[in-house]
Every structure is written in structure tokens, then in C-alpha cells.
Structure 1
Amino acid sequence: MARHSPPTERVVRLLDFFAAHPGRRFGLSELARELDLAKPTCLGIVTELTAGGYLVRDPQPVTYRLGPAMVAAGRVASEGFGASEVARRHLEDLSRRYGATCTASAVVGDRILMLQSAGPGRVKLGETYPFAPPVGLMYVLWDSDAAFDAWLAKPPAVPVRLDEAHLRRVVAECREHGYLVESLTSAGRRLYALMAGVGAEELPPEVRGLVGELVSSLGERVYLGADLEPRRKHAVSLLAAPTFDASGRQELVLTLSVGEPVTGAEIARRGAALVAAADAVTAESGGRHPTRI
């Protein structure tokens, strides 16, 4: 079981609050009210963060804002996600072209981390999701067979039916076409909302069971090639395509939201555009496609 530290959680909440309000300054009373903290508790947190350079205290009037230590930490952290910085421009281009929300995300440790977003949708950067079935299939689709098998062997985040034969067909087709076409059910959307920022072990058993009942069989949300008739409209949630690092391993997943029925021909056009963007990110970040050596 994961152990929780309420004092640490309060510090994280405070820093998240500042990050969500870039350029803003806040007084102690306002911070305490917004974060539902006692003023003495809030004062202790901001005093320590100010001493460490993570906040700056402005004297007239007394307010607080993010400090230079956050800039330094951000620069160091960004070095591990160079491809996501490269991806930003390509996501913005795709977003303008299709009027859609586009994202870049990656697996960090045992969590999926949202790194970049462009477009009209409200995506919280830094949001994390569990990297365990039924969440995370697209993060191993284009990786090695060993990576896929390791993900499949993980204890599921919630109870789910596994049709391994169907999943392997999904892997083969997505590798062939270079992108994934997903249609999330309303239950699937509820699952992602519930699991955001939450470890599976944090959910009570009865809640985990209930969520399991809401989720369709893993892999059934992915359209296979034969499902996509060129002239027929298909309800599509998003398209996804991978970028690769210098060793040819899957690095990021880029997504292009759709959120409406579109024809199979239009899906193919958008899929090709997304793959082209992902390939450009791979090349510009010094990566290589494993099948194009």
C-alpha cells in the first residue's frame, strides 16, 4: 500500500495552485482560503518555500509568486522530455489544421504523464494516470513485444476482461498502419476521469469493482482496419501515433482528438497527418523509427 504524507500533499497543492495561475501573486489569506488551509499552516509552507527560492515574497503589499528555484528545477526536468518540447510546434500545427485538441504524453515510471497540449480542450499538464491495464495500451503498441508483454502482465488498475488474442491483432494492425483509432465509451471517459492522479491501490475494493463493471473489454475500443469503411461515418474519440527515441524505442504518444463521427476516408487522412507529425518529432529530436533504419 502507498503511504500518504498530508504535509507533503499540502505543499504540492500549493505549488500546483501557483502553476495553474501563471504570473499571479497571492496574499497569505487568499492562499489559505483557496487551498482550504489554516493560515498558520499556510504561512509555514510559504515561509519554507520562500527560503528555498521556490517562492518570492513581495513586501508591498505582502504577496507571493513562483521563484527562481522553480525555473531551475523546470529546466533540469525538461531535459528528460526534450521530444515533448519539439512536439509542441507540431501539435499546434495539427490543432490549427483540424480545430482539435492535440496532446503529447509519455510513461514516466509507473505512471502516464501529460506533457503538452494544444487546441481548445482543457487538458491539465502534469496530470498522471496509472500505467496498467486497462489504461496505457497505446504506450506499448509500437514498442517491443517484451514491453507489451510486461504491460499486459501488470496487475490491472481495475478489474477488466482480457482478450489477449484480440489485443495482439490490435498491436499488429496499429504497427502496420502507424496509428491507432479509438472510440472511448462514456464509461471509458469516466474511468480516465476517476483514475487521473490516483493510484489503483488508493481505490476502495468496492469502487474498483464498480469501475470494472463500467469498462468494456480491453481492446474493444480500438477500430481495426476492416472496421473503417471509407464512406461510412464512425464515432471516433481520438487518433494516436508514436514517436521514437535514439534507440528506436517508443517515446511519446501524440494524440489528435476527433470527438464526432467521421468517414473512414477522413480518418485515414487525419491518421496520415498525425503520423507525419510524429515522424517529424522523432527526426527533429534525434530519434529513429525502428523499421526505417
Structure 2
Amino acid sequence: MPDRSSSPPTRRVVDIVSLLAGADAPISTAGIAEQLGIARATASAILSELTTAGWAVRDPTRGYIIGPALAGLPTAALPHDVGDLLAELAARTGYGATFSRIEPDRLTVLDVRHGVDRVVPGIPVGHRVPLQFPAGAGVMPWRPAREQNIWLRTATEDDDQHNACALLALVRERGIAVFRPRADDAGLVDLLADLLSAVGSELLRPQLRTRTLRQLAALTARPFTRAELDSDEILPLSYLAAPVFDANGTAAYEVQLGPLRAATTRIERDDFIEATRATARDLTAALADNRRHR
């Protein structure tokens, strides 16, 4: 099957990191190459770079495990089903999906799966962003009141403060946060996303990549209102985020889907909403089942 990623070499790095992060035992170079369907020489070269960066460690059995540079990421405790379910969401919708951990001060991307119609532009595994409005909106209604209040204060503009308060109630009611570009920005969002995908964000200088991602995030950060969610109008759609609960019942994770489309019908939006919520439910069940079998 052909690799549909906008950057196959980067995709292979992500796949190896994801594989190591989800493994409960060291994996040999040959084992990694076989599981991912890549050449052993390719796997060996990537593992060498990951080891140098501290992202992977070669243990005495000559297998590889996740390295100390990523030890703070909680991916090692995640079941293998997480990646499979995320890939199913991307395949079902055609758009990129991510799975993130939400902590009191930050959002950390734990897994990324690209879609046929749209990759996830510029968002690698391990990418972290401050937990400021609207990041984390999909879980915030189920977080402690103190965290909610801190989060609400990060919405600095008057319109955003009003939207943030309304959003908490709407997300709790609908079980999902849905965002759109600001009124006149739909075309620019489409252009930026296409450029990032075509160029390959790994080719951009870090500062330029950061500025571009921040601009894209700002342009796509207007939450849907209740009236817009129920509207039959054709509307732009940026991304969706639904809560995923850990085995203790805490809204600790978020699954995000990024269509980044300039126009969608209500039927299309409802399909995206249902697909994202269904994946969130399946991920919650996978986390609970993982704990029972540990």
C-alpha cells in the first residue's frame, strides 16, 4: 500500500516512536522493521538518531525501548488500541487525528494519524502547547473548578471570555467542542494548512514553524455556538475535540479531528461529530480495559 503521508521519512520516525512508546517490552531492529513494513536498514538508521537524541535506548538484550528524553510522556502506559482507534478515525473521515494528554498547564500530543484528504499539518508526537483557551476545551467541563477558572482567565479578549464561558456549558451538553475559523479567515486557513502539508513542516526553521502554527491556531479558534451546531447553513469547520476518560474516570485525554475545511454541510458536520465522539468512547473503553489486564 503506498505511503500517503506528505513526508514518508517523517512518518516512519513517528511510527517508530509510537511503536516504542506503546510497547511493554524491548523490540529489536528486525522486529520494528517487520511490524512497520520498512527496510531494516531504514529502521536501524532512524533508531541510531533516536538513540543519539535520547528518544530511544538500546537495552542489554539488543532491543529498543522509549528513551529518557520522552520518559515524561505518558505514552508507555497507553494500550496499543489507542493508535489503532485513532487510525480508524482518520481512515473513516479522511482527515488527520491526534490524541493528547491534558495536564493543568499544558496539552501534549501523544499520537498522530494522518488522513487521506488532510494530514495533521506541523503537529508531531511530543508537541506541547500551553493549556490556554481554546486548547483543552474538550475536557475542561470535567476538570476541577480551579483548573476551569484558570483556563477561563486565559481568554483575554472580551469576545473570547464570553465564548469560553458558553463553551463549557455547550461541551458538557454535547460531549464535544467544535471550532471554526473566524468569519473572514476560512480561505486563509485552507491556504496555510495546504502550504504546511505541501512543504513539510520539518523543512521549516523552528521559529518559522512555531509562528505558522500559532497563526493557524489563532485563525481556527472560534467555537461553534449552539445555533451554529444546529444550523442547516454551509459553514467552515476547523477541528473537533472530545474528552477521553482514563481508568479512574478523569477526563485526562482529548481526541482531536482536524478537517480544516472552508465549507461543510450540516450532514457532514454531524458525521464528523459522531465519528469523533464514537472514537472518544472507544478510547475510554480501551483505557479502562488496559487497566483491568495490567
TM-score normalised according to structure 1 size: 0.59
Distance verdict in 2 for CA 1:238–1:67, change over 3 Å: same
Is 2:179 aligned against 1:182? Answer: yes
Distance 2:170 2:137 in 1: 13
Residues 232-274 of structure 1 deviation map (CA, whole Å, 9 limit, x = unaligned)? 2110011111101233221111111222211123212221121
Aligned with 1:170: secondary structure?
helix
Give the deviation of 1:184 after TM superposition: 3.3
Report what 1:146 is aligned to.
146
Give the counterpart letter for 1:248 in structure 2.
Answer: G
Contact 1:180 1:239 (C-alpha < 8 Å) held by counterparts: yes
Contact 2:90 2:113 (C-alpha < 8 Å) held by counterparts: yes
Distance 1:256 1:78 in 2: 21
Give the deviation of 1:162 after TM superposition: 5.8
Report what 2:98 is aligned to.
103
Contact 2:56 2:67 (C-alpha < 8 Å) held by counterparts: no
Distance verdict in 2 for CA 1:86–1:141, change over 3 Å: farther
Distance 2:147 2:79 in 1: 21
Contact 1:95 1:102 (C-alpha < 8 Å) held by counterparts: yes
Aligned with 1:138: secondary structure?
coil
Distance 1:147 1:66 in 2: 33
- Structure 2: runs of 5+ lacking an equivalent: 1-9, 17-41, 193-200, 290-294
Give the counterpart letter for 2:279 in structure 1.
Answer: A
Distance verdict in 2 for CA 1:224–1:84, change over 3 Å: farther
Distance 2:124 2:66 in 1: 22
TM-score normalised according to structure 2 size: 0.59
Distance verdict in 2 for CA 1:286–1:71, change over 3 Å: same
Is 2:162 aligned against 1:168? Answer: no
Distance verdict in 2 for CA 1:229–1:162, change over 3 Å: closer
Distance verdict in 2 for CA 1:149–1:125, change over 3 Å: same
Aligned with 2:248: secondary structure?
coil
Give the deviation of 1:80 after TM superposition: 5.5
Residues 144-170 of structure 1 deviation map (CA, whole Å, 9 limit, x = unaligned)? 43321132246x7xx644654432221
Distance verdict in 2 for CA 1:166–1:80, change over 3 Å: same
Distance verdict in 2 for CA 1:220–1:23, change over 3 Å: closer
Report what 1:262 is aligned to.
264
Report what 1:246 is aligned to.
247
Contact 2:109 2:126 (C-alpha < 8 Å) held by counterparts: yes
Distance 2:87 2:113 in 1: 5
Give the counterpart letter for 1:102 in structure 2.
Answer: A
Aligned with 1:231: secondary structure?
coil
> What is the aligned-residue RMSD (CA, Å)?
4.2
Is 2:241 aligned against 1:237? Answer: no
Distance verdict in 2 for CA 1:245–1:257, change over 3 Å: same
Distance 1:151 1:84 in 2: 29
Distance verdict in 2 for CA 1:284–1:243, change over 3 Å: same
Aligned with 1:232: secondary structure?
coil
Aligned with 1:71: secondary structure?
strand
Distance 2:13 2:105 in 1: 24
Distance 2:73 2:128 in 1: 16
Aligned identity (percent) is 20
Distance 2:136 2:157 in 1: 13
Distance verdict in 2 for CA 1:91–1:223, change over 3 Å: same
Match of 1:73 among 67, 74, 81: 67
Alignment of 1:29-108 (within 5 A): 54-55=51-52, 67-68=57-58, 71-73=65-67, 82-83=77-78, 85-108=80-103
Report what 2:4 is aligned to.
none
Residues 35-73 of structure 1 deviation map (CA, whole Å, 9 limit, x = unaligned)? xxxxxxxxxxxxxx9xxxx449xxxxxxxx964156153
